[in-house]
Copies of this chain bind each other. A is one copy, B any other.
């Protein structure tokens, strides 16, 4: 098929398809003449992936390219592909004014303790490490420590989720499908988990409010 049909099939405008081709998110079609090319079902699928990662997962075009390149490259290990999905890496340097480094050091220690306690084997090069430290440090800088106290709860919940996810993803066919499924599941999973958390929070707060009113009235 040519670009017009690809556009119709995927719901992405021709102009955007050309943009994605330029940016390397979409591999070029097979040349049928010096200035004609044809695209296949793989391109349709890839376009859907691109839109999913950008629109639903909230990745930037640059992060999407990096992730897809990792999925394509059999050399890149799975967890590095996942690491590349973290487009929203908070800048490690220069933030606060008062007790900046102190909060950061405390956070570093708290996370190291948590990881040691749970027996997690994680490399320090995982960008998620720095992200987690930065969040913890930010929280203590704001003067609240509820989140820090719930760190263990969060870690336990995420370990349970991750264990089942990893188990579900390993026994697919080939490596490409496994990695692709893991990446999409992780990126879209972030969004889904956040949404479900909002829903659960509303339910729980409503429940708590009802109970409080019930106590007050009866």
**CB under 8 Å from chain B, chain A span 159-192:** 159-170, 181, 184-186, 188-192
CA distance A86 to B202 in the complex (A): 14
Q: Is the CB of B197 within 8 A of A162?
A: yes
CA distance A166 to B165 in the complex (A): 26
Residues from chain B with Cβ under 8 Å of A49 in the complex: 142
Q: Is the CB of A96 within 8 A of B48?
A: yes
Please pick, from B79, B96, B150, B181, the residue contacting A201 in the complex, using a CB distance under 8 A.
Answer: B79
Q: Is the CB of A186 within 8 A of B192?
A: no
Q: Is the CB of B165 within 8 A of A150?
A: yes
For chain A, give the interface size range: 35 or more
Residues from chain B with Cβ under 8 Å of A194 in the complex: 86, 128, 131, 190, 193-194
Supposing A52-B142, A55-B95, A91-B55 touch, asked if A167 and B208 sit within 8 A by C-beta, the answer is: yes
Please pick, from B147, B162, B167, B169, the residue contacting A188 in the complex, using a CB distance under 8 A.
Answer: B147
Residues from chain B with Cβ under 8 Å of A91 in the complex: 55
Q: Is the CB of B146 within 8 A of A198?
A: no
Residues from chain B with Cβ under 8 Å of A192 in the complex: 131-132, 135-136, 147, 151, 154
Asked if A33 is at the interface of the complex by the 8 Å CB criterion, the answer is no
Which residues does A use to contact B, with CB under 8 Å? 8-11, 45, 48-49, 51-52, 55-56, 58, 78-79, 82-83, 86, 88, 90-91, 94-98, 100, 115, 120-123, 126-129, 131-132, 134-136, 138-139, 141-144, 146-147, 149-151, 153-155, 157-170, 181, 184-186, 188-208
